[in-house]
Amino acid sequence: MVDVEAAAGSWHDEIHGSAQSMRAFLEAGSVAMDAARRALECATGEALEPPIAFPVTSVRLLAPVGDPRKIICIGQNYRDHCAEQRQPIPDHPIIFAKFPTALIGPGEAIRIPRISHQVDYEAELAFVIGARGRYIAAEDAWSFIAGYLCFNDVSARDIQFGDRQWVRGKTFDTFAPCGPALVTPEEVGNPHELDIALTLNGRVMQQSNTSNLIFGVDYLVSFLSQVMTLEPGDIISTGTPGGVGVFRDPPVFLRPGDRVEVHIERVGTLTNPVAAEDD
């Protein structure tokens, strides 16, 4: 773990304080990324005083992007998830939103709200926009992606299905765990060939591969940008595979004391405990 702001030194003016916020860092573009690479080179060299590198176990990780302007989610975007619902493959992406107040990071508790008794998990691959764009062609989409992270689209099913629209049931506080880190495209490689899984108290509940996505990352960037300007720091979560709790027999819902883990190949593992809202 490298403290980019502390390492920046004489480069600090170049990144204009962008180390203080991931969104601001991404807005600074290649200048900030170059400064971060130089910071990493320093951190892996001779010992420095004060130190700029720390063991991950000695720090508390927050949501990788804590202040996005938009959190955009895609519904019914895995073939196996459509199959378990007995739903046809959609002919265009199904879009809904969460709000930044729902964000939490690794290790933070998913809180079961007072007004819901059917809180469900959804393992998802999310990506973060790295450059501002509108009307982006699919073949150009890759240059607008800053990186990837694990995402859990926690959902209050009784609220979601009772409302007959998804936003309220999807955006309770703590219903958007993400992390553990923003992993660059170079490290991830092809996002459409990643194993994805979710475990609940050590039991595998979801297990699939992003090759089962109906609408891929590049298509989603292009599709969304026809409607809205995509901005640095925007989080786009690509949907969940089969195995969610509500469609199990019997259904499985989250309870205080549970432990949920989302694992995505080459992206990492996101772990969150579950607690009652009033704890």
Query: Tens digits of per-residue pLDDT, 68-106?
Result: 999 999 999 999 999 999 999 999 999 999 999 999 999
Residue with the bigger pLDDT between 49 and 254: it is: 254
pLDDT at 46: 54
pLDDT at 10: 44
260 vs 155: CA distance, rounded Å: 14
pLDDT at 177: 98
Q: How confident is the model at residue 51 (pLDDT cuts 50, 70, 90)?
A: low
pLDDT at 220: 98
Give the residue among 141, 150, 146 at the shortest CA–CA distance from 194: 150
pLDDT at 31: 83
The predicted model scores a pTM of: 0.93
Q: How confident is the model at residue 279 (pLDDT cuts 50, 70, 90)?
A: confident
Residue ranges and CATH numbers for the domains of the chain are: 4-58 (no CATH), 71-276 (3.90.850.10)
Residue with the bigger pLDDT between 1 and 123: it is: 123
Residue with the bigger pLDDT between 14 and 82: it is: 82
Q: How far is CA 195 from CA 19, 31, 114, 225, in A?
A: 31, 33, 34, 27
Q: How confident is the model at residue 18 (pLDDT cuts 50, 70, 90)?
A: very low
Tokens of 44: 């892996």
236 vs 233: CA distance, rounded Å: 10
Q: Does residue 48 surpass a pLDDT of 60?
A: no
Q: How confident is the model at residue 11 (pLDDT cuts 50, 70, 90)?
A: very low
Residues 137/226, Cβ–Cβ less than 8 Å: no
> Which residue type, as a one-letter code, is found at position 182?
L
Give the angle subtended at the CA of 77 by the CAs of 76 and 82, to the nearest 5°.
50
Provide mean pLDDT across the span 159-168: 95
Query: Tens digits of per-residue pLDDT, 179-232?
Result: 999 999 999 999 999 999 999 999 999 999 999 999 999 999 999 999 999 999
Q: Does residue 171 surpass a pLDDT of 80?
A: yes
